[in-house]
């Protein structure tokens, strides 16, 4: 929400500034440099946006095997998704991802071993702690992810150590509109972090006569998040897909400062008013000291983000990347801040 208040995060901001990809999913080779505090990825279907988010979660994640598991299981429509984590199902060898930040460069190798039988993915993460002398010092950690399948679908377990966080990045989250932790867990986290009232104000800008967001217990004793009105309450789960998506997004970006938030197409199911509120929420989260990298097919979302950032005088913190894959190579055009407005026609070609 636009305000005249100046809100600056304490201490220097830690950013992931670049990501390099080799043989990951549909990308044979590619690099994105100059990632901003709020980065928007646009492009046609199959232009590499989701794979970039996968690469960032793998290489900048803070939960180790759980992050890798999330990346693999996002393609749950595949009966055996593990081999397709790598370029051409591993025909040309292992995959590599690296991320650049204000601190170390992290390199991750992803190899699919005996994929048709055990669906075992071995990952080696090597960390260079010197930007000026790459390779001068390494701290190597190995962890593995095992995934098994039966006729009912995948069941899996993650094991091993999580890598140390990148510099001051406290947590990394992948946010999808209808997936992830239960709402009552997200509300509890947001309340502990002091973000509940901000969330309620955001939702009230979209939901007429909303009084508060409450945690109630349903008839079978399970926790349930409700929207409270003066006449009673309604579970968020039945308030409509758009409000459900907006509520989930608001809960998840109410993170502490120095979080890396990866958001997949936040516009899904959202009404224009909800989409405008989502844009304000993302700009507010960046002002609080987080970094957001989001993919979208919505020109309206881009317009709302640029308007909210301009109103809060943080337009320089926004960059739009137009992505494209040509013969397996990831290519991109970068439009920072105000330039994104002038590049609107180019961007619109991908979104209309």
Band of the pLDDT at 286, cuts 50, 70, 90? very high
Among 256, 293, 298, 291, CA closest to 276? 298
Position 163 scores a pLDDT of 64
**Residue of 245 and 101 predicted with greater confidence:** 245
Q: Return the SS3 of 39.
A: strand
Question: Using one digit for the tens of pLDDT, what is the confidence trace for 113-134?
Answer: 654 555 566 665 555 544 444 4
Whether the CB-CB separation of 177 and 269 falls below 8 Å is answered with yes
The least confident of 84-98, 146-160, 212-226 is: 146-160
Burial 253-292 (b: 16+ CB within 10 A, else e): bbbebbbbbbbbbbbebbeeebbbbbbbbbbbbbbbbbbb
Q: What separation in angstroms does the CA of 244 have from each of 3, 177, 182, 201, 217?
A: 26, 8, 11, 16, 18
pTM (2 decimals)? 0.85
**Residue of 161 and 230 predicted with greater confidence:** 230
Specify the CATH architecture of the domain 16-173+259-272+280-351: 3-Layer(aba) Sandwich (3.40)
Return all residues near 113 (Cβ < 8 A) that are at least 6 apart: 120, 121, 122
Residue 9 has pLDDT above 50, yes or no: no
Overall average pLDDT of the 44-55 stretch: 92
Position 118 scores a pLDDT of 52
Band of the pLDDT at 155, cuts 50, 70, 90? very low
Q: Which of 81-95, 145-159, 188-202, 204-218 has the highest mean pLDDT?
A: 204-218
- β-strands 27-33, 16-24 pairing: antiparallel
Residue 15 has pLDDT above 60, yes or no: yes
Residue 6 has pLDDT above 50, yes or no: no
Residue 3 has pLDDT above 60, yes or no: no
Position 153 scores a pLDDT of 46
How far apart CA 130 and CA 109 sit, in angstroms, is 19
Beta bridge partners of 38: 292, 318
Residue 250 has pLDDT above 80, yes or no: yes
- β-strands 27-33, 38-42 pairing: unpaired
Percent of the chain at pLDDT exceeding 70: 74
């Amino acid at each position: 929400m636009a305000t005249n208040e100046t809100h600056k995060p304490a201490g220097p901001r830690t950013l992931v500034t670049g990501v390099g990809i080799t043989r990951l999913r549909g990308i044979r080779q590619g690099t994105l440099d100059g990632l901003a505090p709020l980065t928007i990825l646009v492009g046609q279907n199959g232009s590499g946006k989701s794979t970039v988010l996968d690469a960032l979660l793998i290489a900048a994640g803070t939960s180790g095997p759980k992050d890798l598991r999330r990346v693999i299981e996002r393609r749950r429509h595949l009966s055996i998704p593990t081999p397709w984590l790598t370029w051409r199902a591993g025909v040309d060898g292992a995959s590599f991802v690296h991320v650049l930040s204000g601190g170390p460069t992290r390199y991750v190798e992803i190899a699919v071993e005996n994929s048709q039988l055990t669906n075992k993915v071995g990952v080696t993460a090597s960390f260079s702690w010197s930007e000026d002398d790459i390779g001068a010092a390494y701290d190597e950690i190995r962890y593995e992810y095992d995934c098994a399948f039966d006729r009912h679908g995948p069941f899996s377990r993650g094991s091993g150590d999580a890598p140390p966080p990148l510099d001051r990045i406290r947590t990394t989250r992948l946010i999808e509109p209808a997936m992830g932790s239960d709402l009552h867990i997200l509300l509890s986290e947001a309340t502990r972090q002091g973000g509940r009232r901000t969330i309620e104000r955001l939702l009230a800008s979209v939901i007429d006569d909303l009084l508060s967001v409450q945690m109630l217990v349903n008839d079978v004793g399970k926790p349930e998040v409700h929207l409270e009105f003066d006449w009673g309450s309604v579970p968020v789960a039945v308030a409509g897909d758009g409000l459900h998506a907006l509520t989930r997004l608001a809960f998840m970006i109410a993170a502490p400062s120095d979080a890396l938030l990866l958001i997949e197409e936040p516009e899904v199911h959202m009404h224009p008013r909800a989409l405008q509120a989502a844009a304000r929420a993302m700009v507010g989260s960046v002002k609080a000291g987080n970094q957001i990298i989001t993919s979208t097919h919505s020109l309206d979302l881009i317009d709302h983000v640029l308007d909210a950032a301009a109103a809060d005088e943080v337009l320089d913190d926004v960059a739009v990347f137009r992505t494209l894959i040509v013969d397996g190579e990831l290519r991109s055009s970068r439009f920072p801040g105000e330039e994104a407005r002038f590049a609107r026609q180019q961007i619109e070609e991908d979104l209309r």
